[in-house]
Structure 1
């Protein structure tokens, strides 16, 4: 009897081959901004550049429309900074112990901005009331009242001019400690420094534009004011064109037709003051919001 056997063939397991490529590793920074500029930072830089261009666009002929445009642009810059401060990455970056002094300095600077703009709101309200009363005196040809209102306007304009000196102590923030060839925290601080700089610049244009205008200042005081207000960090800007067209003191001896024309121009100037006031209020609110966001960086 023949029995058939089946032969089974077995092969050794193939040798394992390890890849010659080294295994890739990833390093994640959990407390910093992205290594490339965040879109908000890029947007903020563009807005700051536009505001810097605005500041020299009409250096020889400043108008109320030009000033309002600058205040609107300043509001946009602070809204973008506020958005940046709301980013979780930004808050984590600035919460480190090494940045506590920097945040405190920023809070002081923005408190000074808020205080100065608050004082400006009070002064511009007084300016409007006094200017409205002066218009009535001009229409009535009341020389004595014109002289009184001219004196009061001159006093208010001086106080507005002094506001610029309150911003002179706002300086550059300390540079962030270097950690890498591309330091994202340093970029953040750099852009905040630029925001501080343009805020001081636009504020100088606002306060100087009103305080240096002949509609509110006596000619004899203009030179003294410009001399006394020169500071290291703040440049007091020139007058606004619309506010150079009227001088109350000169209206005391004008003829009937000239007084009527002056009254019309004074009404137009009052509209300009109201528009500037509204733009300054909106910029003021954006400054408050930015400071609140800075406080939240420390407390939340």
Structure 2
């Protein structure tokens, strides 16, 4: 059974619901539904093997979704609804929800920015053939990043349990549709940031360096590859650096790791740009909401 559109989803991700107005349905509504469906399909297609490239594509889809939302907010009927409902609690909750999205987006940006800086430092260490012990600074930074991620994920999880205070029987269908649209876009955005942060932290964020010790031992066996032990880009770098720590650098041993680092740095740069675009979109949407309430 489908969950109420007035609640943030806690289990089903990207379960797109169609938003519709019964009279003279605007083309933007269909476009909004198409973007939601596209995000759902993209998520399902990459759920088994996500990567940084697919994450970048999802950001592009999210940006398109917000562009559509901004246009919907400019519709006369939407503005009339907000003017009429300006003192309702759901309006304040919508504004608070978008503020939480800005915080989540900013945290995600910070995590990727710090990771890129760490990768650049590691590349410098490997190029200069400095002491392998210098790599431990990366593990310290990763630990700090994971703490930040854990805190943010906990806050996101708490926000999922915040219910939108709306008595549906007292609202017309079109008003309910607008509320549902705003809650839906908040939910899929939160889902996306959560998936990004979880990906950076790794699939087993609680296991720490004990996992990488195991991976390091596996890596020394020629019979086992990265793909066979299902590591994402961050886990591969962690494992590769763990295998180098405490050893002397050689060209052969560091070449693969350097290639991974360079590819990852390039992918993160693209993600940073995408996150910045989404961040600006979130600000624009919040400003639009505030402007409607001030009129």
What band does the TM-score fall into relative to the shorter chain?
Answer: 0.7 to 0.9
Q: Which has the higher contact order (CA 8 A, sep 6+)?
A: 2
Deviation, 1:109, is 0.5
* 1:264 maps to 2:253: no
- Per-residue CA deviations over 1:88-143 (Å, capped at 9, x if unaligned) read 11010122147631111110010111122223323332222222112222331421
Correspondence for 2:222: none
Distance 1:283-1:132 versus aligned 2 partners, 3 A rule = same
| Superposed CA RMSD | 2.6
Correspondence for 1:147: 136
Give the alignment of 1:1-300 within 5 angstroms: 35-97=23-85, 100-139=88-127, 140-168=129-157, 169-170=159-160, 171-175=162-166, 177-178=168-169, 183-212=173-202, 218-220=208-210, 241-246=232-237, 247=239, 248-252=241-245, 253=247, 255-300=250-295
Distance in 1 of aligned mates of 2:168 and 2:203: 45
TM-score (norm: length of structure 1): 0.74
Distance 1:127-1:121 versus aligned 2 partners, 3 A rule = same
What runs of 5+ residues in structure 1 fail to find an aligned partner? 1-32, 223-238
Larger Rg: 1
Distance in 2 of aligned mates of 1:157 and 1:163: 10
Residue-pair matches, total: 249
Deviation, 1:196, is 1.7
TM-score (norm: length of structure 2): 0.76
What runs of 5+ residues in structure 2 fail to find an aligned partner? 1-20, 213-229
Distance in 1 of aligned mates of 2:62 and 2:85: 30
Moved more, 263-272 or 167-176: 167-176
Distance in 2 of aligned mates of 1:289 and 1:103: 17
